[in-house]
A and B are shown apart, each in its own frame.
Chain A
């Protein structure tokens, strides 16, 4: 028998070789050191690849803001929320015009050396009421819009069974080979599985969340209005245009050809608000914003971090701002 093909080695590791086909493979592995070593290498590769894929965890509910939408995708509920926030901001800002005072910002702002005080952008929270979950009309046929975070962490029982079957099959193969049983019989080096959670529990929670969101729509509109008030009261320049998602090309064009980014970080999104171009990054404490503006042919920028973001980390990030 010629050497075992790579695909067959992976089928063996995945427990997918039918029983009738196992004996010649077992016999070959028993006599071929080279194939046993290859099997071991592929086992490590498989474990590493599985571990990499598992790094891509679904973010917990509410931890990420909705992605920038194409214009046709904007939901009526979100439009309504924006309209309410603008009306509220203008109205309450007018009412409070005589009592405006400097107000502590919710986030820590670090001015770049060349930044000007009068170019201060408003709080990201005030600028982005689209953070609210979207309203999804009740539709009997459609499932709830989001599953509970726990459902994402659940490993399927089928997957666990498949891994067990693979380990079992490999155990049989290597035990019968009479050689290298100690290493080959070990289960693949996969990362520890997350604790299983019943899928039905997650779905029930998702349904509850969907109903709760629909019921809370009025409440969320009020939250948006309050955000608008904060923007006015903070003493920042009033911004009446909502941020709009833009692409890199557009951002570079708006800044006269020199967009700045934080080296080593992946932007969550790019957006424009008035003259400002905002590069938004996700952190555990909230969103970190690199706000930029073209002034007299030069780009001025500010790094705006959410409350609770460590100052030393912020300083390190500031040093990593690159054109």
Chain B
């Protein structure tokens, strides 16, 4: 591993995998895509690494989703998040349900809104989000405002539905 790649890896791998995991809901897939992303960085070392790495990774996610659609794998199975080891089973179930509702709410967003939100959660500033997603900087505030509102609304709707059902 070259020095540059080692540095990139040390700096961004954890953040990239976290973002990919939140995007895909599949830790193994997230790690595979992160590996592929870093492998591409070796071939064409980026000048502005963080937006580049995240843009490539998100492209790979979209590509993977398109392949899945073509292959008829339309069903998304959300992997339940690993609960805290010390948590009681009831707490785990509750957390698992909340996480599932967040995932569902996140999936309901448009791709652009969802990606902007996940990049912001990784500490991207507006310039970096704009560079990663190919958007105008002036549009980022509006995009994030809409994404946050829709995420919270969808989550609350899921919560109400759950309460009514139970």
Which residues of chain A have a CB within 8 Å of any CB of chain B? 5-11, 14, 16, 42, 45-46, 48-50, 52-60, 63-64, 66-67, 70, 140-147, 151-152, 154-156, 158-162, 199-200, 202-204, 206, 247-249, 264-270, 281-284, 309-310, 313
Contact = CB atoms under 8 A, between A and B. Distances in A.
A141 B42 contact: yes
A203 B34 CA distance: 13
Given A16-B125, A143-B1, A266-B78, A56 B96 contact: no
Interface string B136-152: 00011111111111011
6 contacts: A49-B151, A52-B102, A53-B151, A141-B39, A199-B10, A202-B13
CB-based closest 7 A-B pairs: A159-B123, A7-B142, A151-B14, A7-B141, A59-B82, A11-B141, A49-B148
B123 A14 contact: no
A163 to B, nearest CB: 9
Interface of B: 1-2, 5-6, 9-15, 17-18, 21-22, 26-31, 34-35, 38-39, 42, 71, 73, 75, 77-85, 87, 89-90, 92-93, 95-100, 102-103, 105-106, 117-118, 120-123, 125-126, 139-149, 151-152, 155, 162, 166
Contact of A52 (B6, B97, B105): B105
A142 B38 contact: yes
Given A63-B82, A203-B10, A313-B90, A48 B152 contact: yes
Given A162-B125, A265-B80, A56 B152 contact: no
Nearest to B103: A56
Contacts of A264: 93, 97, 162, 166
Contacts of A67: 26-29, 79
B8 to A, nearest CB: 9
Given A5-B142, A142-B39, A53 B17 contact: no
Contacts of A156: 15, 122-123
A315 to B, nearest CB: 11
B121 A142 contact: no
Contact of B80 (A10, A54, A266): A266
